[in-house]
């Protein structure tokens, strides 16, 4: 197979993530979440797709005047659901789900047109307008998710039905778009198909899919600008097409020239993920360098402490450097997931703990905050502070109260995105190449690898992220030499490492975030890594004006917040004295079992304020108890105030 | 005249503001602003009215398809301009302006319909829809401003042309609206006509205008709700008419039952001003009590330190208690002016310094911040912090930078509102009744009063607000007994008072904010009041979460802010050490001559932050100079950051 040849060639410099179905997670943090996703979230999401008409749209029997009208991006929600369900099936057999998928795939296949085209909106609602508004209407985005779904279903089940549909569609797309005569030099306003085509290439070994993905990435932002030409063809004012709209879709300049994250954050993440994929597949250092520049800009100017990105609701994306307001932080759940995807890809080209640090930060905080403890409700945005909603909307019947999760959304990209993340979580924990086994994330369970043809198993015991004590045992048929690389998280300032009871760290500290032990390993070898996990105060860059004079609490990979449910005094008037120490306490009954941080703080006293809004004497500060809970777990109790950043007193 | 009878009856309990044309202001604070208003702002505003079609709309020659379409509230801008120009004419003769007014009034009179109706939009654009959407379309609001303009022009010039137009219109309105058979039980969605009708009554002595104004106030918020009935008649969904829409226009319940400020802030101020007028005219304690409840709620829960009100742009109005965000503070200039109008009226019923304190706070800060130093640019909103504008708007061609003033607005209510305030400023300084002369505000100049038929002049020498030393000299033909009441501002914690060189305060402190000296006064008597005016730090109620841990700077009536133009370090990262003392320095060349506050502060240091957005060590604080300027003077230099509330370190 060509694919094997390709992968082998790159194998000396490029890592390969472990397949998630070769990882078993049986800890008390992730395993219950993954099971909830399988047992509750995935079935509930299917019901929502069904209720809202997303499934039935594939029947293609919509008639003018009928409600609902199949929306331009509905197909992508169903595709992501298929991907999540397929991932789940790959680790946990479920004949009913298997049958449900088969039936749905038959329905989807029936909607494919003669020429391979497949889009419920354009086929049924406006067939005359196919490919006329790539900028806004998500046609190739939907195709990309369909391709990802097809790859996932094939990899999970070995069934080729949806894969054939996806290949036919991709082949047709390849005839329409490109630089050849008569082809449209277009690309999608919402990136997604690019990374999907790389996946399709990896699964099928067909280089044309890689080339098509590469074309979409390289064509982006070139002049004459495709979205201008397309708008003119629609008879629209070119004036509408401004620099900002171009930045919105990262098409303001060719991708290799980009060095600032701009525009819609999910779009950006999917593009950068594809760029990282292509840099790996094509061994392209200059494309990787562009990724690296964008990464540095994002992580030093635009990322919330929770790993959330995209500060503004107005463009669902990036604004000015250091513009990180807490209460209005948009931080779309999909953007968090996209950030994980991108960093995971960066990590396959170069083992650098900075990527894994970001991946871990967002995974444990701003991504999984997106789903409720019962697995049925979602955040679209993930703010870092919440107070009583203050702005009454004209025409609203109900007085809003606090920020809450929703059962589903009109634009429901986030729910199935969370499902596919959780159902395939294991892949993020390990990478390998011929002579290396790299551990990025620590999760209790087992994983199995092929290292240059030899099978190696790793058995992990840990209570991470609640505790930093990690034991890894190795199992293999015969002694094997390889470098075991263990990530030392960026948050960790002290650790001990031992192999079979003997200290194994050379004292030089980790190299680019990893301790490497290169030796001949045998079955039964035990590695013990103790990551010290004190409660830390974190401070933001002084240009983040929203956090001047404030500190946040972090322990291990977890960012904490204070919620009203744990406090008698209003959370809004809590201050953290500089000298206060907070103690971690595991509370098994709370929020599914979490380590809280407890201690004493101060609260601005309301005494003497009965009749005035302003006065010239400073408010008195009275001592009070404070309890911080992991950010990801907020908004699972009675609605109330929440904040991540606390003023210091 | 009935009016005289009425006024006499109430004279023992009700104060009368001095007529502004009997006050001369010749200080270095207000006099240049008033002259700029006369020489620059008023002519420029006329040009804007002309350029935008607001003047020509009175020609009534609009034809369908023509642009611009006379807008439903255009008439009110022209009316407020007439009011401002008339006020100016009353203090400073100007034949050209006089002629310009005459010409405009002829034009306006020509637009009056047979039945007295006068509205450029409804007459020309949709004559069939007269009085069909009182809730949204400002018809009676425009009538109110026309009435105010007419009263002002008549009082300034003695010419009755516009007054007759206004009376005819008011008489017609009186036939349409009321509780009689066949009358509409309506009232305007935007209050204004109520207070205008009280003015018309006071000028003409015709009680029917007072009764009509009273009707509009009392009918508001009654069931069945007029806006519901009206919407049903338009064939609109009653569902659109929610509790919030009602609160938006303060029609959620009868006004006497209201105790919380809600909805659109300008609407609210104009209503409350009318309620205070009616309480005075009708000697109505229960209506006054409703005003008092609303006042307490506003001033203890909803007023910015600058006197700005209406925190939210979404409803141009009030939100939750203590919801006072700084950067997004809406604080419409018109709402500030409305707040002055309301408090001025409250003060005429009862001499209580708390009203004058609010009036002074908003006048010196959040109202006059609305106009630029060159008299040509305006703020619609008056935020308390400004940073680089962060949210790119889709479709915008230009990258926004900082919050700036504008030459004019599509909805241009604020510019002529500022003009009429400045042109009639003297009226706010003094009130009288038969045996009392009350000084509310201190402005260098002269004022003339009739006290029970005797003429008394007051000559004031002071450099207020830059200095708290005030000398008042009295002039009169013969010795006269009256109580001279001098306001001791709420911000003033120490003062000395002397009459002809001898201490005159009894040491018991002011009564309800005023020192009263009741004696026989003679020409040449001199009163000296020294208000101590130290630099103060002000703190906000702990429930104002936006200001927890922050202090603001105030000296005398002026609230200060820090602007980027005075600092090398970014204003966003300044902190004010608790022990720092700032010193007042008069700087004649700066911003037209202002007292700045100078001293040392600290700034979060950027050292060590080059490659990271977060870290576990607290940012170092380095000493730096700080200069605060009066809030009203901000945004008159190069655009940059600004903040009123500073974190304390």
| A614 and B CB contact within 8 Å | yes
Mutation for B interface: A245, A261, A325, A545, most B CBs within 10 A: A545
pLDDT beyond 70 at A568: yes
**Does the active-site annotation cover A413?**
yes
E strand or H helix at B554: strand B550-555
Candidates B392, B224, B362; CA nearest to B302 is B362
> How sure is the predictor about A397, in pLDDT bands with cuts at 50, 70 and 90?
very low
Cα-based distances in Å from B10 to A176, A245, B204, B349, B431: 86, 64, 17, 10, 14
The DSSP bridge partners found for residue B643 are: B385, B562
Taking only the tens place, the pLDDT of each residue in A416-463 is 999 999 999 999 999 999 899 999 999 999 999 999 889 999 999 999
Is residue A226 a part of any domain in this protein? yes
Torsions phi, psi for B106 (to 5 deg) = -60, -45
Last residue of a domain, one of B375, B399, B428: B428
Last residue of a domain, one of A515, A531, A547: A531
| B609 and A CB contact within 8 Å | yes
Cα-based distances in Å from B344 to A179, B354, B483: 73, 11, 20
Nearest to B244 among A396, A578, A611 (CB): A396
Residue B390: the pLDDT is 56
Is residue B434 a part of any domain in this protein? no
Would you call B611 and A572 a contact, using CB atoms and an 8 Å cutoff?
no
SS3 A349: helix
Q: Which of B291, B299, B331, B413 is catalytic?
A: B413
One domain for residues A177 and A99: yes
Taking only the tens place, the pLDDT of each residue in B230-247 is 999 999 876 554 445 899
The DSSP bridge partners found for residue B520 are: B481
- The Cα–Cα gap between A514 and B97 comes to 81
Taking only the tens place, the pLDDT of each residue in B93-108 is 999 999 999 999 999 9
Would you call B305 and A614 a contact, using CB atoms and an 8 Å cutoff?
yes
Cβ-contact B317, B263 below 8 angstroms: yes
Cα B162 to its chain centre, rounded Å, is: 25
Is residue B226 a part of any domain in this protein? yes
Mutation for B interface: A303, A397, A613, most B CBs within 10 A: A613
Between A473 and A453, where is the model more confident?
A473
Is residue B440 a part of any domain in this protein? no
| A245 and B CB contact within 8 Å | yes
- The Cα–Cα gap between B97 and A362 comes to 66
What's the gap in Å between the CA of B512 and the closest CA on chain A? Answer: 15
Residue A400: the pLDDT is 60
Candidates A390, A642, A604; CA nearest to B324 is A390
Count CB atoms within 10 A of the CB of residue B129: 13
- The Cα–Cα gap between B325 and B305 comes to 12
What's the gap in Å between the CA of B296 and the closest CA on chain A? Answer: 8
ipTM reported for the complex, 2 dp: 0.94
- Which strands make up the sheet holding B514-521, listed edge to edge? B16-17, B430-433, B436-439, B480-487, B514-521
Nearest to A613 among B303, B388, B399 (CB): B303
Last residue of a domain, one of A531, A548, A581: A531
Query: B395-428 b/e with 16+ CB inside 10 Å = b?
Result: eeeeeeeebebeebeeebbbbbbbbbbbbbbbbb
CA angle at residue B631 from B627 to B637, to 5 degrees?
70
| B303 and A CB contact within 8 Å | yes
What's the gap in Å between the CA of A619 and the closest CA on chain B? Answer: 7
Count CB atoms within 10 A of the CB of residue A127: 12
Per the structure, the complete domain to which residue A158 belongs is given by 20-62+70-428
- The Cα–Cα gap between A137 and A231 comes to 12
Is residue A442 a part of any domain in this protein? no
- The Cα–Cα gap between A319 and A439 comes to 35
One domain for residues A178 and A197: yes
> Is the peptide bond prior to A68 cis by the omega test (within 30 degrees of 0)?
yes
Cα-based distances in Å from B232 to B138, B191, B229, B240, B587: 19, 22, 5, 11, 61
| A391 and B CB contact within 8 Å | yes
Nearest to A613 among B301, B391, B575 (CB): B301
The DSSP bridge partners found for residue B357 are: none
One domain for residues B102 and B237: yes
- The Cα–Cα gap between A104 and A83 comes to 12
Q: Take residue B92 and report the two structure tokens written for it.
A: 């400073």
Q: Which of A155, A191, A219, A316 is catalytic?
A: A316
One domain for residues B574 and B524: no
Residue A389: the pLDDT is 74
Q: What is the pTM of this model?
A: 0.93
Would you call A573 and B242 a contact, using CB atoms and an 8 Å cutoff?
no
One domain for residues B488 and B389: no
Nearest to A647 among B544, B549, B603 (CB): B549
| B607 and A CB contact within 8 Å | no
pLDDT beyond 80 at B58: yes
Count CB atoms within 10 A of the CB of residue A578: 10
Is residue B413 a part of any domain in this protein? yes
Taking only the tens place, the pLDDT of each residue in A579-616 is 999 999 999 999 999 999 999 999 999 999 999 999 99
Using a CB-CB cut-off of 8 Å, the residues of chain A touching B612 are 300, 541
Q: Can you tell me which residue has the tokens 């060639």?
A: A9
pLDDT beyond 80 at B431: yes
Q: Can you tell me which residue has the tokens 């305060």?
A: B505
Q: How many CB pairs under 8 A join A and B?
A: 181
pLDDT beyond 50 at A490: yes
One domain for residues B148 and B251: yes
Residue B245: the pLDDT is 80
Residue range B401-416: mean pLDDT, rounded = 89
Using a CB-CB cut-off of 8 Å, the residues of chain B touching A295 are none
Cα-based distances in Å from B609 to A260, A301, A304, B616, B619: 19, 11, 16, 11, 9
One domain for residues B452 and B374: no
Output the average pLDDT for chain B. Answer: 93
One domain for residues B111 and B259: yes
Minimal Cα distance from B391: which residue of A?
Answer: A319
pLDDT beyond 50 at A9: no
Candidates A453, A496, A437; CA nearest to A471 is A496
Residue B312: the pLDDT is 92
One domain for residues A165 and A242: yes
Residue A390: the pLDDT is 56
What sign has the CA pseudo-torsion B74, B80, B84, B89?
Answer: positive
Cβ-contact A600, A626 below 8 angstroms: yes
| A60 and B CB contact within 8 Å | no
One domain for residues B229 and B271: yes
Would you call A542 and B314 a contact, using CB atoms and an 8 Å cutoff?
no
Is residue A440 a part of any domain in this protein? no
A225 Cβ contact partners less than 8 Å away, ≥ 6 residues apart: A241, A246, A251
Taking only the tens place, the pLDDT of each residue in B580-615 is 999 999 999 999 999 999 999 999 999 999 999 999
One domain for residues B424 and B572: no
> How sure is the predictor about A240, in pLDDT bands with cuts at 50, 70 and 90?
low
Cβ-contact B180, B219 below 8 angstroms: no
Task: Scan residues 161-200 of A and list those with Cβ closer than 8 Å to B.
Answer: none
One domain for residues A524 and A551: no
Cβ-contact B30, B303 below 8 angstroms: no
What's the gap in Å between the CA of A649 and the closest CA on chain B? Answer: 7
Using a CB-CB cut-off of 8 Å, the residues of chain B touching A614 are 305, 538-541
Using a CB-CB cut-off of 8 Å, the residues of chain B touching A248 are 394
The runs of H, that is alpha helices, within B424-569 are none
Taking only the tens place, the pLDDT of each residue in B523-536 is 999 999 999 999 99
What's the gap in Å between the CA of B397 and the closest CA on chain A? Answer: 6
For chain A, give the longest Cα–Cα distance: 80
Is residue A642 a part of any domain in this protein? yes
Candidates B322, B536, B561; CA nearest to A573 is B322
Q: Which of B139, B148, B192, B316 is catalytic?
A: B316
Q: What percent of chain A has pLDDT over 90?
A: 90
**Does the active-site annotation cover A219?**
no
Would you call B395 and A618 a contact, using CB atoms and an 8 Å cutoff?
no
CA angle at residue B250 from B244 to B256, to 5 degrees?
130
Q: Domain tally for chain A?
A: 3
């Amino acid at each position: 197979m060509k694919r094997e040849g390709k992968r082998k060639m790159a194998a000396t410099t490029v890592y390969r993530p472990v397949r998630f179905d070769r990882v078993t997670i049986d800890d008390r943090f992730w395993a219950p979440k993954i099971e909830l996703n399988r047992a509750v979230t995935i079935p509930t999401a299917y019901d929502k797709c069904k209720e809202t008409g997303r499934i039935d749209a594939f029947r293609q029997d919509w008639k003018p005047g009928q409600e609902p009208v199949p929306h331009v991006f509905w197909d992508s929600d169903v595709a992501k659901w298929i991907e999540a369900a397929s991932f789940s099936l790959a680790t946990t057999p479920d004949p009913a789900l298997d049958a449900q998928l088969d039936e749905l795939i038959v329905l989807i296949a029936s909607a494919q047109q003669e020429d391979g085209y497949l889009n419920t909106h354009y086929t049924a609602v406006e067939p005359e307008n196919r490919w006329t508004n790539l900028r806004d209407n998500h046609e190739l985005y939907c195709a990309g998710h369909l391709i990802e779904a097809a790859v996932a279903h094939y990899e999970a089940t070995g069934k080729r039905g949806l894969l054939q549909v996806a290949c036919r569609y991709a082949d047709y797309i390849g005839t329409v778009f490109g630089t050849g005569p008569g082809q449209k030099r277009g690309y999608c306003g919402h990136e997604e198909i690019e990374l999907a085509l790389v996946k399709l290439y990896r699964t099928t070994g067909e280089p044309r899919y890689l080339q098509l993905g590469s074309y979409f990435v390289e064509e982006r932002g070139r002049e004459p600008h495709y979205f201008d030409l397309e708008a003119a063809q629609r008879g629209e004012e070119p004036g509408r097409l401004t620099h900002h709209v171009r930045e919105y879709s990262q098409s303001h300049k060719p991708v290799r020239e980009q060095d600032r994250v701009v525009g819609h954050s999910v779009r950006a993440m999917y593009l950068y993920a594809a760029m990282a994929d292509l840099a790996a597949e094509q061994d392209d250092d200059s494309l990787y360098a562009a990724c690296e520049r964008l990464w540095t800009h994002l992580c030093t100017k635009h990322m919330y402490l929770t790993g959330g990105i995209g500060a503004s609701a107005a463009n669902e994306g990036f604004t000015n450097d250091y513009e990180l307001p807490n209460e209005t932080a948009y931080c779309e759940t999909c953007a968090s997931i996209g950030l994980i995807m991108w960093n995971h890809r960066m990590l396959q080209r170069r083992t650098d703990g900075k990527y894994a640090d970001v991946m871990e930060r967002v995974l444990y905080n701003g991504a999984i905050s997106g789903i409720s403890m019962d697995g049925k409700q979602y955040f679209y945005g993930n703010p870092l502070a919440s107070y009583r909603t203050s702005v009454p909307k004209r025409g609203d019947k109900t007085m809003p109260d606090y920020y809450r999760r929703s059962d589903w959304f009109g634009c429901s990209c986030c729910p199935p995105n969370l499902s596919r993340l959780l159902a395939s979580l294991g892949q993020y924990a390990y990478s390998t190449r011929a002579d290396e086994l790299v551990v990025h994330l620590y999760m209790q369970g087992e994983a199995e690898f092929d290292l240059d043809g030899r099978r190696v198993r790793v058995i992990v015991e840990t209570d991470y992220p609640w505790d930093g004590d990690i034991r890894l045992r190795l199992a293999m048929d015969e002694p094997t030499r390889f470098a075991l690389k263990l990530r030392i998280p960026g948050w960790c300032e002290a650790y001990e490492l031992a192999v079979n009871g003997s200290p194994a760290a050379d004292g030089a500290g980790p190299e680019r975030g990893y301790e490497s032990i290169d030796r001949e390993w045998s079955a039964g070898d035990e590695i013990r890594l103790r990551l010290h996990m004190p409660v830390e105060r974190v401070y933001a860059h002084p240009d983040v004006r929203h956090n001047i004079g404030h500190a946040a609490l972090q322990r291990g990979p977890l960012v904490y917040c204070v919620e009203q449910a744990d406090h008698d005094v209003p959370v809004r008037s809590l201050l953290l004295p500089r000298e206060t120490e907070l103690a971690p306490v595991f509370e098994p009954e709370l929020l599914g079992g979490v380590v809280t941080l407890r201690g004493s703080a101060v609260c601005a006293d309301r005494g003497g304020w009965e009749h005035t809004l302003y006065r010239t004497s400073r408010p008195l500060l009275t001592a009070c108890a404070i309890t911080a809970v992991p950010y990801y777990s907020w908004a699972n109790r009675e609605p109330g105030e929440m904040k991540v950043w606390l003023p210091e007193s």
